[in-house]
Structures are given as structure tokens and as C-alpha cells.
Structure 1
């Protein structure tokens, strides 16, 4: 399970290899009103999600996203903590 981190977390590569527990907290759009599965996933930061294209704190791999939310949601609100 992997993710890319925004500039705020990435810290010029210092975040590579760090692990975060991520949990879906809610929807960000009207497409899937309740996307969360009620689970969490631990991801390892492996890349930078560069600005301005990156609109997220963490960009989860498809596998990691599917573990915590409906893939059709596309974007979700999350809580995350370093582990």
C-alpha cells in the first residue's frame, strides 16, 4: 500500500519511507454520498504529489484507496497519522 505526499508532508524527500495510517472520514462530492468503508489502511510514502496539480494531502494508490472507500468517489476526506 503506497501513497504520494503533497509538498507540506514530502519535505524535499524526507517523508519517503514514512508510514501513515489513513482513514476515510467522508465524501467531497455529490457522486458518492457515503464512500467510506469504516476501515483504515497503512500506506508508505514513495513519491511526491507535486503542486499545483496535486489537490490532496495524500494521493493514495488505487489499492489503498479501495481498502478504505468506494473507488467511484474519486476524492474523499481523510484523517491520517504517522505510524
Structure 2
């Protein structure tokens, strides 16, 4: 379970190896119901994301499928460093 983080979190590589606990809080499109699985996962930062906005994370497909419907592109999440 891995993630890429925005450059503001990446800190010139200091974030590599940090772990975050992630929970899906809902779909980005309010018309889609049941976007989240209700599970919480832990991911480890392995790279930076040059195309992310603000404090976005890009997580592996395996990790995404555990917290949200795999057919969705994006979901809203809460995350915290652990």
C-alpha cells in the first residue's frame, strides 16, 4: 500500500517512508452513492506527485480499491500521519 504526495508534503524526500492512515469520506460527485467501503488503510509514501493539488495524495490501485469503489476516479479522504 503506497502513496505519492504533493510536493508540500514531500519535503525534498523527507516524507519517503512516512505512513498515513486514510479513510474515504465520500465521492467527489454527490450523485454517486456508496463511494466508500468504510474501511481505513495505512499507506507508505514512496514518491512525490508533481500533478497533485495542495494536500492531495495519489494511492496505489490496490489501496484505492480497499477504501472506495474501484470504478471511481477520485474520492474525498481524511488522512493523518501515523
| TM-score normalised according to structure 1 size | 0.89
Can you give the 5+ residue segments of structure 2 that lack an aligned partner in the other structure?
A: none
Q: Does 1:35 align with 2:45?
A: no
Moved beyond 4 Å, runs of 4+: none
Question: Size of the alignment, in residue pairs?
Answer: 81
Helix, strand or coil for the counterpart of 1:29? coil
Aligned CA RMSD, in angstroms, stands at 1.5
Give the C-alpha shift of residue 31 in structure 1. Answer: 6.9
Counterpart position of 2:52? 54
| TM-score normalised according to structure 2 size | 0.90
Give the C-alpha shift of residue 29 in structure 1. Answer: 2.2
Can you give the 5+ residue segments of structure 1 that lack an aligned partner in the other structure?
A: none
